[in-house]
Amino acid sequence: MADLLLGGDLPVRRLGFGTMRLTGPGIWGEPRDSSTALRVLRRAVELGVNMLDTADSYGPYVSEDLIAQALHPYPDGLVIATKGGFTRQGPDAWQPLGRPEYLRQCVEMSLRRLKLERIDLYQLHRIDPQVPLADQLGELATMRAEGKIRHIGLCAVEVGQIEQARELVEVVSVQNIYNLARQRHRDVLRYCTREGIAFIPFFPLQAGALARTDGVLQQSAAAQGVTPSQIALAWLLHQSPMTLPIPGTSKVAHLEENLAAARIELSEAESTSLGSQWSDEP
C-alpha cells in the first residue's frame, strides 16, 4: 500500500493513530492509566505509524501533553496533526470558537505543549458559524506565513464549505466521520479523491461497534481469518488512495490489531458487498 503524500510534501503511511481515546471518560481529564497511554503512543511509532492526530480540546490539552511526554524528541518523519477551535465545558461538552485571536492562542499553546517549532498539519476543528470563515482561515494562513503552521486542514465539512475554504487558503486534508455504518459523506470523499486532498475518516470503527457486528462483515472476516474491525479498516483503505484512517485506542493489543489491517486486501466485489449492507445515517 503506497504512502499518501500529505500536502504534496509529507509522506505518511495510510493508517495513522488518533489520540482522542487516550484521555479520560468523555474525552475529559487524564487517562485512567497514564503509563499505558504512553506505551500505546510509543508502540504506534515502533510499528511504523508516522502520523498522529490530536487536538488541544482532547482532555483538554491532555493528548498533546502525552504525545510530547512519550515521543519528544520526535523521530524523523513523524507528522503530528493537531486542531483548534473548540472549547470544552466538561465531559462530552464541546463549543466551537473561531475568533482569530483565540485560534492564534490555540496554535501558540499547541506549539508549546507539543514542543514543536512548526505544526505539520493544523486543522480547524469546527467552522464557527458566528465568525466569518475568512477571518478564521485568514488567521491560520497568517500563522502559516509566519512559519508556525506547515499545512491547513478542515474538519466536519461539506463539499460547498471545502470549496469556499479553498478560495481563501490551500486545504490539504478533510477530516469527517466516515465508516462502514456511516457513509453520508461519500460526496466529500469523492471530491477529495478527485482534488488530491487527504480524506481522514474519524470514528473509523464507530467507537468499536463494527468489531461486534455480524452478517457480511463477520463472514468476510472469518473467510480471511481476521477480525471484523480489521476488515472495516481495510474497507476504508480500499475506498480511495486518499483515505487516511486514524483508528484510536487506549490498549496496545487493539493498536496492534488495527495496524495489521493494512496488510488485508479486498476485492472490488467484497468492498461493494460490505459497503452496500449499511444504510447511510445523517
CB 264 within 8 Å of CB 71: no
Reply yes or no on whether 102 is catalytic. Answer: no
What's the Cα-to-Cα distance from 229 to each of 96, 176, 203, 234, rounded to whole Å?
Answer: 31, 19, 12, 9
Other beta carbons within 10 Å of 129: 9
* DSSP 8-state symbol, 3: P
Q: What is the DSSP string of 75-141?
A: PTT-EEEEEE-EEEEETTEEEE---HHHHHHHHHHHHHHHT-SSEEEEEESS--TTS-HHHHHHHHH
Q: Give the integer Cα–Cα distance in Å for 90 and 60.
A: 9
- Which three cell numbers, joined as nine digits, stand for 207? 467507537
Cβ(259)–Cβ(266) below 8 Å: no
Of 166, 261, 163, 129, the C-alpha closest to 204 is: 261
Q: Helix count (H) and strand count (E) of the chain?
A: 10, 11
- Rounded to whole angstroms, how far apart are CA atoms 87 and 70? 25
On the 0-12 / 13-18 / 19+ scale of CB atoms within 10 A, 144 is: buried
From the candidates 58, 122, 178, 191, which is the catalytic residue?
58
- Residues marked active site are found at 58
